[in-house]
């Protein structure tokens, strides 16, 4: 482990020495190149992280919708079996007296 640290220090020192030997204009140009590469890597990392977060969120939503769908089916299946011969929800039968059609406006109370 200490050998790796020594190698890193040598590489860093070599880079610093080479950088220090450059004229000012080349130092600035090198810094801009390094900064643009760093910024590019940062934006790529952010984009990938965001994509992963969206993917995780969509997986969670899909999982929850599957659970809800299962629970609804189970609940409607249980109530239909408890009632015996339950009418299908989309029947064309007329509503019984006192009931109103789905989506119909309620009658105004007589004044």
Residue 39 lies in a domain: yes
Residue 42 lies in a domain: yes
At 2 the pLDDT is: 60
At 81 the pLDDT is: 57
Give the tokens for residue 105.
């406006």
Q: How far apart are CA 32 and CA 28, in angstroms?
A: 6
CA distance readout (Å), 82 to 27, 78, 96: 81, 6, 21
pLDDT tens for the 111 residues of the chain, in order:
566 777 777 777 888 999 999 999 999 999 999 999 999 999 999 999 999 999 999 999 999 999 999 999 888 876 655 555 555 555 555 555 555 555 555 665 665
CA distance readout (Å), 55 to 5, 45, 61, 67: 38, 15, 10, 18
At 9 the pLDDT is: 72
Residue 38 lies in a domain: yes
For 4, phi then psi, to 5°, come to -65, -40
Number of domains in the chain: 1
Residue 33 lies in a domain: yes
The residue whose two tokens read 């130092």 is 27
Q: How far apart are CA 83 and CA 89, in angstroms?
A: 13
Residue 31 lies in a domain: yes
Residue 1 lies in a domain: no
Residue 6 lies in a domain: no
């Amino acid at each position: 482990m200490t050998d790796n640290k020594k190698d890193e220090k040598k590489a860093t020192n070599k880079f610093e020495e080479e950088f220090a030997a450059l004229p000012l204009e080349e130092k600035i140009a090198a810094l801009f190149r390094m900064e643009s590469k760093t910024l590019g890597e940062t934006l790529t990392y952010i984009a990938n992280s965001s994509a992963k977060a969206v993917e995780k969120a969509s997986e969670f939503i899909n999982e929850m919708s599957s659970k809800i769908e299962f629970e609804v089916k189970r609940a409607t299946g249980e109530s239909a079996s408890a009632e015996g011969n339950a009418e299908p929800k989309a029947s064309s039968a007329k509503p019984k007296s006192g009931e109103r059609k789905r989506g119909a406006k309620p009658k105004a109370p007589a004044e």
